[in-house]
Amino acid sequence: MSQVKNYLSLIKFSHTIFAMPFALIGFVLGLRDHFIHQTTVNQVWLKFILVLVCMTTARSTAMAFNRYLDRHFDKLNPRTAIREIPAGIIKAEKALVFISINMAIFITATFFINSICFYLSPVALFVILFYSYTKRFTYLCHLVLGIGLSLAPIGAYLAVTGSFAILPLLFSFAVIFWVSGFDIIYALQDIDFDQSQSLYSIPSQWGLKQSLSISRVLHFLSASLVIAAYFVGEFHYLYLLGLLIFIGMLIYQQSIVKPYDLSKVNLAFMTANGIASIVFSVFVIGAMLIQMYL
């Protein structure tokens, strides 16, 4: 049991609350638009379980690989030296085995979903693994992380429908700007370390004040996209309640982190964004269910 806890800690399982709610939005959106009248309840539940498996294993792969690849840097950084691999709690070789198992399960699950998800599974794995290299050569690493998490809504939609559409893409782009915005805030904690190790990040390049300004612009773009999605998707007005809370959480986290006071970075990162994603998804999914059944 303790080993299970170690691996859950390695992949920061609690951070699943960021992307998973958007995957659920994409899944229900697919049901609303195309799938609900063409299949049985059992088939819907099977697809749902497979999507959850894909989400869990893809995220576990990405997070564990990031910890494996950054283990030498993590050992040097006082904030991250206690992580499982640099602390010796999980051996690097075992982390690689864990990564390989999750990749295999992910690809297998996509095979049973549909052909397009199976064919695109290597692309998805490339994107989420590639992120771990980006801090070594580009300040746009935050956007690459956002792209990785943005696969959640479009991937879930593809799982249901087998086709692309503009609305899940709007949600995906909203996730890109939302995630990259809060990842910049999170990276403020390591600005000195990144500079000392020649690692690339927006804070290490532009400093505290300008980085927060960039984060605000990205969150403004994210808010604009979820607003646009409301009109494009012709959602029930219940969507607007979730929208207000989502935007409110963006404003809140931007207001509590200051260039001269980073003490609330974790509050902004975990609490505000966790509330934003979960509550927003509840209202959006509720709006779609009302349209589907009432």
- Average pLDDT of the residues in 73-84: 94
Q: How far is CA 162 from the centre of its chain?
A: 22
pLDDT tens-digit series, residues 104-116: 999 999 999 999 9
- The confidence band for 279, taking pLDDT boundaries of 50, 70 and 90, is very high
Tens digit of pLDDT for each residue in 32-58?
Answer: 887 555 567 788 899 999 999 999 999
Is the pTM higher than 0.75? The answer reads yes
pLDDT of residue 38: 54
Q: Of residues 263 and 14, which shows the higher confidence score? A: 263
Residue numbers of the domain that contains 222: 2-293
Supply the pLDDT for residue 35. 58
Sole residue written with tokens 């690493």: 141
Share of the chain above pLDDT 70, in %: 98
Question: Do 7 and 98 meet the contact criterion of CB atoms below 8 Å apart?
Answer: yes
- Return d(Cα 110, Cα 53) in angstroms, integer: 9
- The average pLDDT across 84-109 equals 96
Cβ pair 229, 170 in contact under 8 A: yes
Instruction: Give the pLDDT band of residue 156 (cuts 50, 70, 90).
Output: very high
Q: Which residue has the higher pLDDT, 11 or 285?
A: 285
Per-residue pLDDT for 13 more than 80? no
For the segment 140-162, the average pLDDT, to the nearest whole number, is: 96
**What integer is the mean pLDDT of 82-88?**
94
Mean pLDDT, rounded, for 129-142:
97
Portion of the chain with pLDDT greater than 90, in percent: 84
Q: Which residue has the higher pLDDT, 95 or 39?
A: 95
Output the domain CATH number for residue 13: 1.10.357.140
Q: What is the mean pLDDT of the chain?
A: 94
- What average pLDDT score do residues 153-170 get? 95
Confidence of residue 294 (pLDDT cuts 50, 70, 90): confident
CA R_g for the chain: 19
CA distances from 227 to 5, 276, 292 (A): 39, 14, 21
Give the position of tokens 């963006």. Answer: 250
> What confidence tens digit (pLDDT) does each residue in 211-240 have?
999 999 999 999 999 999 999 999 999 999
Structural domain count of the chain = 1
The whole-number pLDDT of residue 39 equals 61
Query: Please, are residues 280 and 242 in contact by the beta-carbon 8 Å criterion?
Result: yes
